[in-house]
Structure 1
Amino acid sequence: MLKTRILSACVFVPLILIATILGGWFFAVLMLFVAIVGGYELQRILAAREIRFQFPLFCGFTVLLFLCSLLSEYYESMSLIILFLLFALLAILFVFGKLRAVDAGLSFFGSVYIGLTLSTMVVMRVQMEQGIFLIFLVFIIQWLTDTGAYFVGSSLGRHKLMPKVSPKKSVEGAVGGIVVAVISALIFNAFTHILPWGWLILVTVCASALGQMGDLVESAFKRWAGVKDSGKIIPGHGGILDRFDSLLFIAPFLCYFLMIYTNLIQ
């Protein structure tokens, strides 16, 4: 299993790094692919509970969001308009009896959970200063939190974090993941100067904790649906949602923090 995971990483990590460096449409298309596959996996998970996730609407909503994040300077207002249109369309389908409330509600939730959150990655890469470094910071926090939590939890883990949701995760591992992420982010910031040190530590601690929360949310979701993995597209890692679940929490947090920081704090 470990060998398979390493081989998969050797294929996917360079692809992500190249797309991040190239930016623009290359990065947007990669993130859109991740979002669409993630939506398909979510449809599969919800189908296990006989919930009809509106995948075509999800795809249309996600494409519009990504175009907005890539081309529009008014992402915040445009994304709210697109979000309202999706809500209105799902509400109309519900009122006319085409969808149950749970179908409409979870279709809306899934579109925000995957489509909206991943579009913030494109906003950071394309529309913000030092965009390439911001994306690298996101991946550093995500990957090093996972790595730190795994090794610290494996060697020192004694107290279960949420045993009913994810039995293997420990409090020690969670703290270790945050510490490793902070140290790694500080080293990266020494060369890139993205944020003042105090703000960087605060942001990294929050983002690392949110990333681990995202992992737990997806685990709880799969357990509720009775599904082990979200998919099999990444050998040794499972599906897109299995690999990017923490990113769905880290990316929007960092994106909206930077919007507030740039406009109000800096």
Structure 2
Amino acid sequence: MSTELRLRIISGIVMAVVVLAATWAGGMPFRLLSAAIALLVYYEWSTITRLAEIDFRGNAFGWAVTAAACAMTVFAEPEAAFVTVCAAVIVSLLHALSFKRSLWLPGGIAYAGLTALSLTAIRADDATGLIAMLFVFAVVWSTDILAYFVGRAIGGPKLAPSISPGKTWSGAIGGTASAILAGSALYLCFFPATGWWIPLIALVLSVFSQVGDLFESFLKRRFGVKDSSKLIPGHGGVMDRVDGLVFACFAAFLLGTAATVAGPSVASTGAFLLGL
């Protein structure tokens, strides 16, 4: 076994232990983990897009907003965090359009701020939140693993050759199919039956997970970088590891919010996705 592979395996095990332990504990440990991920995501985003070089004041504003949103999520004020992130995105977007500044700033604020918000909203502080978070993990991880192996085994037409030449349609379909099975199986471990909406949610989250992966590939290709950073030995950066998870959490957060607002007939779906 090569030194690089050994380092990658050790780092992967450490990350899995930390994430799963914080997820199991919930509460403050998980909110702190979510905040740390969001702050590191903004650091990598601003580094990749060179925000500090092209818009120093804007980048300082982005750091301040992200830190404030993370503090609000840590101290269980998700509504305030959501309002803060939305307001900051609107202000920075209007400023960018008016003064021809970088549009990567509002993008970074939204990406990092919603990362902390969606993770903590899904996990919440109860047993349902734990199951909902494990459901998202099962969908995302099974998508990643099976997409890789099915794609290598079957090959075929490329999914998005100009963005990520290694990804294939066969891998994407295989990953989505495995996500539906994994998500449904995990749900059945905790509940006596599964409705049609569980496989559907797993499908949607799997698709968003793959979109997130492609988006980060596009971002790195756009700015000519191989990894989002070197923070994780053998793995690259935090964004390299959570790109699919972040987009899946965005989707779960939006679906859960929409279902809760829609009314009693779909409120249970929203409650599950938001861990309420």
Shorter-chain TM-score: what band?
Answer: 0.7 to 0.9
- Answering whether residue 233 of structure 2 is matched by residue 261 of structure 1, we say no
The one-letter amino acid of 2:111's match is Y
Q: Is the 8 A contact 1:142 1:208 kept in 2?
A: yes
> Are residue 56 (structure 1) and residue 55 (structure 2) matched?
no
Deviation at 1:71, TM superposition (A): 4.4
Q: String of CA shifts for 1:193-231, please: whole Å, max 9, x gaps.
A: 399431111111011011101111110111111111111
**Unaligned ranges ≥5, structure 2:** 268-276
TM-score by length of 2: 0.84
The residue aligned with 2:33 is 30
Instruction: Give the match for residue 184 of structure 1.
Output: 182
> 8 Å contact 1:64–1:82 — kept in the other structure?
no
**1:81-131 residue CA offsets vs partner (Å, 9 max, x unmatched):** 542145336756886xxxx5332x221111101222332111121267611
The residue that corresponds to 2:107 in the other structure is 109
What is the TM-score normalised by the length of structure 1? 0.87
Cα distance, 1:26–1:72 mapped onto 2, change above 3 Å: closer
Work out the CA distance in 2 between the residues paired with 1:10 and 1:2.
Answer: 12
For the residue of structure 1 that corresponds to 2:124, the secondary structure is: helix
Change (3 A) 1:111 1:195: farther
Distance across 1 between alignment mates of 2:105 and 2:5: 35
Aligned pairs for 1:185-200 (under 5 A) are 185-193=183-191, 196-200=194-198
How many pairs does the alignment contain?
Answer: 260
- 1:26 deviation in Å? 1.0
Structure 1: stretches of 5+ with no match in the other structure: none
> Structure 1 CA distance, aligned partners of 2:68 and 2:127?
23
CA root-mean-square deviation: 2.6
Per-residue CA shift, 1:58-99, capped at 9, x if unaligned?
Answer: 232223323444545662x7613542145336756886xxxx
Q: Deviation per CA, 1:10-42, whole angstroms, max 9, x where unpaired?
A: 111000011111112211111111111111111
Amino acid in the other structure paired with 1:113: Y
Q: Percent identity?
A: 31
Whole-angstrom CA distance in 1 between matches of 2:49 and 2:90: 19
CA contact 1:70–1:126 (8 Å) conserved in 2: no
Counterpart CA distance in 1 for 2:259 and 2:222 is: 37
Identify the match of residue 66 of structure 1 among 51, 70, 77.
70
* CA gap 1:83/1:262 in 2 versus in 1, 3 angstroms: closer
Give the letter for the 1:243 counterpart: R
Corresponding residue for residue 161 of structure 2: 163
The question of whether the paired residues in 1 share the 8 Å contact of 2:149 and 2:171 is answered with: yes
